[in-house]
Amino acid sequence: MAPRLGRSAPEGLERSCGAHEWVRGRGPVGGVELLRAWFRGRAFARHRHDTYAIGVTEAGLQVFDYRGRVERSVPGDVVVLHPDEAHDGRAGGDDGFGYRIVYVEPARIAAAVHAIRGRPGPLPFAREPVSRNPTLARAVTAAFQAPAEPLALDALVLRLAEGLIEGDSDDRPTGAPRVDQGALDRARAFLDARRANVPYRARNWRASS
């Protein structure tokens, strides 16, 4: 059975970074952790996480084994790995690959989905592990530009939850609204209600470019 990791980022590395390989992490803060990396060859041994892992391939060809299939991700593709699902990672070419990824605790996604839908429900399940989901792509990109503040993290988790909900249906009519006005109002109320919360400690949120 693949090892299960409580946290997400460097513990999954199969080896230390070699020449022209690097890993930069931010967090975890408030149930959210960011990672940006570049690898050549085999990057990750087979393992599991307790979190959602939602990333965007930035360069090269990323290849990984997941749900009994070999998946491939090229620049601009979004990769969604669900909690407790085994996977590995490797470069699909000699030039290596780079990516940005956000790890989010399932409880945070569940709370955001509740705020969007106005009721509790199951965690969203992205049917395709590799896609061109624009909502998730924008959210991951924005995550690396936002400060480690409670409202910024809440907004990020809401955008990720919205993108996961979009990827949870394969029969959505073309052009149909993805989130109705009521859902947006509930999400706004969710953010407003958290303004009074004690800020998360950001001492582990390290700068990353």
Task: Please count the residues of the chain.
Answer: 209
Radius of gyration of the chain from its Cα atoms, rounded to whole angstroms:
17
Cis? peptide before 122, omega within 30° of 0: no
Single-letter code of the amino acid located at 11: E
Q: Point out the least confidently predicted range of 8-17, 112-121, 191-200.
A: 8-17
Same domain, 76 and 118: no
Please indicate, yes or no, whether residues 43 and 98 belong to a single structural domain of this protein. Answer: yes
Asked if residue 173 and residue 145 are part of one domain, the reply reads yes
| 83 and 165 share one domain | no
The candidate with the shortest Cα–Cα distance to 155, out of 115, 118, 100, is 115
What does the pLDDT look like over 99-142, one tens digit per residue? 999 999 999 999 999 999 999 889 999 889 999 999 999 999 99
Distance from C-alpha of 36 to C-alpha of 24, rounded to nearest angstrom? 5
List pLDDT tens digits, range 72-86. Answer: 999 999 999 999 999
| Mean pLDDT of all residues in 1-18 | 47
**DSSP helix/strand/coil, 99:** strand
**Is 18 part of any domain?**
yes
Residues paired with residue 66 on neighbouring β-strands, in sequence order: 69, 87
User: What is the rounded distance in angstroms from the CA atom of residue 58 to the CA atom of residue 69?
Assistant: 22
* Residues 119, 66 share a domain: no
Distance (Å) of CA 40 to CA 44, 53, 61, 88, 94: 11, 20, 10, 14, 7
Q: In this structure, are 17 and 78 located in the same domain?
A: yes
Same domain, residue pair 74 and 114: no
> Does residue 204 belong to any structural domain of this protein?
no
CA distance 164 to 121: 13
- The structural domain count of the chain equals 2
CA-to-CA distance for 62 and 5, rounded, in angstroms? 21
Count Cα atoms within 13 angstroms, Cβ side, for 136: 31
Task: Looking at the structure, tell me whether residues 109 and 96 fall in a common domain.
Answer: no
**Structural domain harbouring 126:** 105-193
The reply to whether 34 and 80 lie within a common domain is yes
The reply to whether 134 falls in a domain is: yes
Output the pLDDT for position 19.
57
203 occurs within a structural domain: no
What local confidence, expressed as pLDDT, does residue 140 receive? 97
Strand partners, 130: 79
The per-residue pLDDT for range 29-69, each reduced to its tens digit, is 999 999 999 999 998 899 999 999 999 999 999 999 999 99
For residue 61, the domain's CATH number is: 2.60.120.10
Helices 150-166 & 181-193 angle (0-180, nearest 10): 150
Question: Do 99 and 8 have their domain in common?
Answer: yes
Q: Give me the mean pLDDT over the 152-180 stretch.
A: 74
What pLDDT does 182 receive? 56
Threshold 0.85, pTM exceeds = no
> Is residue 23 situated within a structural domain?
yes
Whether residues 63 and 34 fall in one domain: yes
Strands (E), 61-128: 62-66, 69-73, 78-81, 87-91, 97-104
Residue where a domain stops, chosen among 86, 103, 120: 103
Residue 61 is assigned to a structural domain of this protein = yes
**11 and 95 assigned to the same domain:** yes
